Amino acid sequence: MSTTAGPPSAAAAAVTDAELLGEVEGALARGRQLHRWWRATEAADAYRERFEVVRTFNRPDRGFAFFDQAPVDGAEVPVMGDVEDLFFDRPKAPPGDPAATAEWTRRQVRRFALRYFLRVSDTRRPAAHTLYRPPTLAPVFQPLSWCPDDVPEREGFGYRQLYYKRAADGAVGEFPQAQRHRIVDLRELGETWEWLLLRVSLFAFDLTVQPFGPGTPEMKIPLDEEQYVVLADDFVVDQDHPEEGVLGRYGFGYATLRTPGDEGLLAYGPGLFAVGFQTFTFEVLTSGEVRLHLAFTVNRPERLLNLSLDPLRWGRTAGRMLGLPWPGTTAAGARREAGDTAARRGGLGFDPLLTAVRTLGFLTDGQAARDFCISRQQLERDMLVQHFAQNYRLITNALLTWRQIPSWLDDAALPRWVVDGRSA
C-alpha cells in the first residue's frame, strides 16, 4: 500500500520543474526506441548474451538476464536487462462453470492491473511495536543506538504522479498534492493524457559486494531510492482475447528519466540511467490462471561510482554524514551545487571500484575474472540479480493485496487506502 513519503532529498529538491519537464520528451522517445528493440528481440529470442538469474523448482517460471546492444538515437548502446515470467494466481472457487470463473477473473485482473496496481505497489513491513527515538543524534552516531527506528521499513515501489500532458490540447499541468498517490486509470492514456510523469520510490534497493569472496566483509552500496518515469499509451496493454488460450492481456510500462543535475558518489543506478524502460503485463489464461510478465532494460554503466578529487566535495559529503550545515546539505545548497554539474562531470573524478577491478584483471592477466569472478560483468550481473529479487518481492506483496479484496470491480466496497493509494 502506498504511503506518504518524507521530504525529497537535497538532490531531488535541487531539480526545478522546468528542468524536469524539459527531460520528459527525450526520455520518452529513447524509452520507446529501446522498448521497440526489446519487443523484436524477445519475439525472435535473439539476445546476444543470455544467462539465468534464478533457479525455480516445481514451477514453470522463466527468468533470465541479458547483455546486448540496442539502437537508440542512431547509435548502438550497450544495454542489459532482465525478463521474468511468473505464476501470479489461480482462482479458488467451488466446482461450477469454469468458463464463467475464468471470465470473472479476467475482468478482475483488468481492473486491478490498469487502475489499482500502481496505488498498492509498496508495502510496509510489519513491526511489533515502535518506541520513541531521540531525533538529535547525527546520522554517523545512529548505528550505535539501540532505540528502535520510528521510520517504517517498506518494500516494493511507491508511485506518485506529479505532472501530466493533456492529449486534447497538449497542455502540461501538475497534479494536486491530494491526488499524488491516486494514480489515474491507465486506460485513459492516449485519450485524456498524452503522458504522465511519476516519481517512484524504490525501497530496500542496495547493491552488496564482497570484494574478497563469500564469508568476507561486504560493502553495501545504497542505490538512489528515487526514479522519475514517464507513462504513455504505447506502453499500456489492454487486450481482450488476444490469442487462443488467452482470455486477456493487461499491463503498463514506462520510460526511465535521468534526474537532471543528479550527481553524487553514485554514477549509475535509479535516477541515473541514460535510457531505460520497465513493463508489467498480466495474462489471464482460459483456465483462469493468471501469469505476470516483467521486462526491464537499461544502458550498461560506464562508471558505478564517482569519487571526486575536489576536497570541497569531500567536505560536503562528510557534512551530510555528520548532519552538519555544510553548503549542499540543504535544498538551497544542493540547488547551488546543481548549477555546475556539467563542469563537474567533465572534471576530475574516477570510479575506485571499477578501477580496482580493471587493475586486478591486468595484474593477474585475466585470472581474477576467470577464476574468482572479479570483473565488471559480474558486478553488472549482481545488479540485475538484485533488481530481479526486488521485482519478486514487489509481486509477492502485490499478490497479498490482490487476494485481500473480494471484488476489484466493486468500487464502492473498496477500502479507502486502496482508492486513495495510502495506508491508514
For the chain, the first-to-last Cα distance in angstroms comes to: 9
Which residue in this structure is represented by grid cell 536487462?
Answer: 81
What average pLDDT does the segment 356-378 reach? 82
Residues contacting residue 94 through CB under 8 Å, at least 6 positions apart: none
| Percent of all residues in the chain with a pLDDT value above 70, rounded to a whole number | 70
φ and ψ at residue 198, rounded to 5 degrees: -120, 150
Element (H, E) at 110: helix 98-111
The lowest-confidence range among 60-69, 315-324, 374-383 is 315-324
pLDDT recorded at residue 413: 92
Q: Distance (Å, rounded) from C-alpha 236 to C-alpha 230? A: 12
- Whether the per-residue pLDDT at 231 is higher than 80: the answer is yes
Q: Which residues pair with 295 in a beta bridge?
A: 83, 279
| pLDDT per residue as tens digits for the range 335-349 | 444 444 434 444 456
More confident position, 270 or 184: 184
More confident site: 140 or 315 = 140
Alpha helices in 160-301 (DSSP H): none
Q: Average pLDDT for residues 20-24, to the nearest whole number? A: 94
Mean pLDDT across 233-238? 96
* Pairwise CA distance, residues 70 & 139, whole Å: 42
Predicted local confidence at residue 339, as pLDDT = 43
146 pLDDT more than 90: no
Q: Are 133 and 146 in contact (CB under 8 A)?
A: no
pLDDT digits 0-9 by tens, 300-311 = 998 887 776 655
Burial class from Cβ neighbours inside 10 Å (0-12, 13-18, 19+) for residue 184 reads middle
User: Which backbone phi and psi does 273 adopt, to 5 degrees?
Assistant: -75, 135
Collapsing DSSP to helix, strand or coil, 362 comes out as helix
Query: In the prediction, which pLDDT does 253 show?
Result: 97
- pLDDT of 254 higher than 60: yes
Which of 128-137, 193-202, 382-391 shows the lowest per-residue confidence on average (mean pLDDT)? Answer: 128-137
pLDDT at 228: 95
The whole-angstrom separation of Cα 234 and Cα 39 is 12
3-state secondary structure of 203: coil
The span from the CA of 424 to the CA of 421, in Å, is 10
Q: Is the pLDDT of residue 180 over 50?
A: yes
Residue 4 clears pLDDT 80, i.e. is over it:
no
Highest mean pLDDT out of 194-208, 235-249, 265-279: 235-249
> Taken in order 337, 338, 344, 345, is the CA torsion positive or negative?
positive
What CATH number belongs to 14-123+154-304+377-414? 3.30.530.20
* Residue 166 near residue 184 (C-beta atoms within 8 A): no
Residue scoring higher pLDDT (422 or 333): 422
Distances, alpha carbon 232 to alpha carbons 184, 195, 253, 254, in Å? 12, 5, 8, 7
What are the cell numbers at 178?
491530494
Least confident of 153-157, 269-273, 362-366: 153-157
- Mean local confidence (pLDDT), 395-401: 87
Following CA atoms 379, 381, 383, 387 in sequence, which dihedral angle do they give, to the nearest 10 degrees? Answer: -170
